[in-house]
Amino acid sequence: MRETNRILQAAGWAVVVGLSAGPTMAQPADANYDEAKVPAYTLPDPLRFADGTPVRDARDWTERRRAEVLRLFEVQVYGHSPGPPAALRSVVVESDPRALGGLATRRQVRVLLDGTETGPAFEILLYVPNAAPRPVPAFLGLNFGGNHTVHPDPGIRLSTAWMREGPGVVGHRATETSRGSGAASWPVERILDRGYALATAYYGDLEPDHAAGWRDGVRSRLGPGTSGRFAPDDWGAIGAWAWGLSRALDVLTKDTDVDGRRVAVIGHSRLGKTALWAGAQDERFAMVVANDSGEGGAALARRRFGETTETITRVFPHWFCSRYREYADREDALPVDQHELLALVAPRPLYVASATEDLWADPRGEFLAAKAAEPVYRLLGRAGLGVEDLPVPDRPVGKTIGYHRRRGEHALVAYDWEQYLDFADRHLLAGAQHLRPASSR
């Protein structure tokens, strides 16, 4: 896709709005990109309880330690999210059994979170391959620009929600010219040809991505924010987006064309962080993919390389629970690090990916986190990464934890998808028998 970037200068920061990557990037000129300047650090041991006693076996992890780690991420990093709303209702607002020239069945589903037409809602775009035997495995991921940006298909409903200014967006609203503007990140036909359904939703439906966005998102309508105040460990925007992914999964598990036990959650960048948090909390996700997720995602917080806890909590305070800011420049005080977020996905297949030019996201830190999650996979009888060293560019590695470092910039592109599809083939097709039954959390 042709990249159209706008450079804004704000208080000494370069803010780049790039629609192919979707998101904004804010990078200070003095960020550390020198390995020699990464301070020495010791990672918390996922296989040791908070009281120091060792986790001895799979049962210790599954029944006690996993919950302890999850709670630390809730209390310190992303905040608590509410459970599923009892009144949730979904309505198919459009469908076409012969979409994309007959390749797929398209359905657009409005998810009414409190069951009413006027309450908080978001919209799922679902394509199911017509040639594949039902029920099919699926990829589910949030998008940055509205469902209509993932493909030029004129049948996709144009989003009416607030969105960041960019190509085809006027006055923070999408126009017809923005159709397909994010298509480079969503090789829809290829995904369908490989036998997977694709479900996506606009993250801004759940919460507009800016500091005051919570007022117009689910956090002001459901859960603690309805009182107008958030406690230090109440959910942030990543929590709200991740919660939305679980609600989308609620809907997909009821769709007879989709196999709810074989849904992979995927996300790029801030939405990669979101996919990880969704997959960590909601064990119904059969596979988790974090593309260039960086700080607050797969990258180790203690490795001060590229983005740091200080930067991310200053520039994007709304993403996290407010307590997380207390760890700015104090990562060693954090009782967890991001390898333990990855470990929460175990024993399910997990894919972490980096890009060579995406130093802001710290590719090495993403790899090292995957490596440090491996002991938990091993304890649960899975092989994990299976390699010791950061692989050369464009060489995918891994067993139950996949990893690659694509040559190129911060983006989700066809190469990345090819690796995820291959990985899904290995884990969601052949290994389907070891998947958990679909159940509510």
From the candidates 148, 318, 404, 410, give the one annotated as an active-site residue.
Answer: 410
Q: Give least dist CB 22 to ligand GTR, A.
A: 7
Nearer residue to ligand GTR within complex by CB, 23 or 347: 23
Interface with ligand GTR (CB under 6 A):
21, 23-26, 269-270, 294-295, 307, 312
Nearer residue to ligand GTR within complex by CB, 352 or 424: 352
159 annotated active-site: no
From the candidates 269, 293, 404, 427, give the one annotated as an active-site residue.
Answer: 269
Q: Give least dist CB 20 to ligand GTR, A.
A: 11
Nearer residue to ligand GTR within complex by CB, 307 or 374: 307
Q: Give least dist CB 105 to ligand GTR, A.
A: 31
Within 8 A by CB and 6+ apart from 45, the residues are: none
Nearer residue to ligand GTR within complex by CB, 166 or 294: 294
Nearer residue to ligand GTR within complex by CB, 79 or 85: 79
Q: Give least dist CB 338 to ligand GTR, A.
A: 12
Q: Give least dist CB 301 to ligand GTR, A.
A: 12
439 annotated active-site: no
Q: Give least dist CB 241 to ligand GTR, A.
A: 11
Residue in the block written with tokens 């990855």: 342
Closest to 244 measured CA to CA, from 264, 288, 274, 285: 274
Nearer residue to ligand GTR within complex by CB, 290 or 376: 290
- Active-site positions? 269, 410
